[in-house]
Structure 1
């Protein structure tokens, strides 16, 4: 795989009809995590830690920062945050695939300098099973 442009990493939200790109995100990040289940006991070989495969909780965290491109995307994200709604999001990873599934918006921050545009930061946590699709 060759180097990819960061702008091609897209965060999309299902707006009821199709997946629409979320605003003008300039920075995007997706992190996968899996908790471990430690099953080490007094008989573990050499006192090395032993883990139970397939038993931990998996989760994904999605974050981004940028500008809202229009009032509709701002309203969709803002109303979902205040209602605590779970929305279907999709992350498009160029030349790799898509990760899709339910996410809840856990943080929404707005900022602006007196001589610049209003920006926002958003954080999402997975709220169910995610699927992976090859591009």
Structure 2
């Protein structure tokens, strides 16, 4: 078992018109959660609550250095302004991918006086997040 450096995990956006995959983030976080449905009944042993998983959801948060000429940033900005979903995926160094369709829910720029201009972006999954094993 080998450990993975976060700098080797890349977030990609798919250009809907060309099918080309583009990358460029600095940091990313994949969030996955499931609702908890109470399945406790009167015959539950020992007065312990029981639960089962309900609806699941996923989201990705990322940030990067802002480059005006970056094609991926331009696609994200256009999708955000036009309220369009995007196809994205995170790729691990092994080639395993987490992929899905997502809504851009936050898209911020930071313009510090004494540092790089950066952006941050949040994606809310729309439908399933699939895991595609390395080929």
1:96-135 superposed matches below 5 A: 97-135=96-134
How many Å separate the matches in 2 of 1:75 and 1:121? 14
How many Å separate the matches in 1 of 2:82 and 2:37? 34
How many Å separate the matches in 2 of 1:20 and 1:88? 11
Specify which of 66, 91, 97 is matched with residue 68 of structure 1.
66
8 A Cα contact 1:110 1:121, kept in partner:
yes
TM-score by length of 2: 0.86
Which residue number corresponds to residue 85 of structure 2?
A: 86
State how many pairs are aligned: 131
In the TM superposition, structure 1's runs of 4+ consecutive aligned residues that sit over 3 Å from their partners are none
Report SS of the residue matched to 1:132: strand
Unaligned runs of 5+ in 1: none
Instruction: After TM superposition, give the deviation of residue 96 of structure 1 in Å.
Output: 6.2
Which residue number corresponds to residue 59 of structure 1?
A: 57
Instruction: After TM superposition, give the deviation of residue 68 of structure 1 in Å.
Output: 3.2
TM-score by length of 1: 0.86
CA RMSD of aligned residues (A): 1.7
Unaligned runs of 5+ in 2: none
How many Å separate the matches in 2 of 1:134 and 1:28? 20
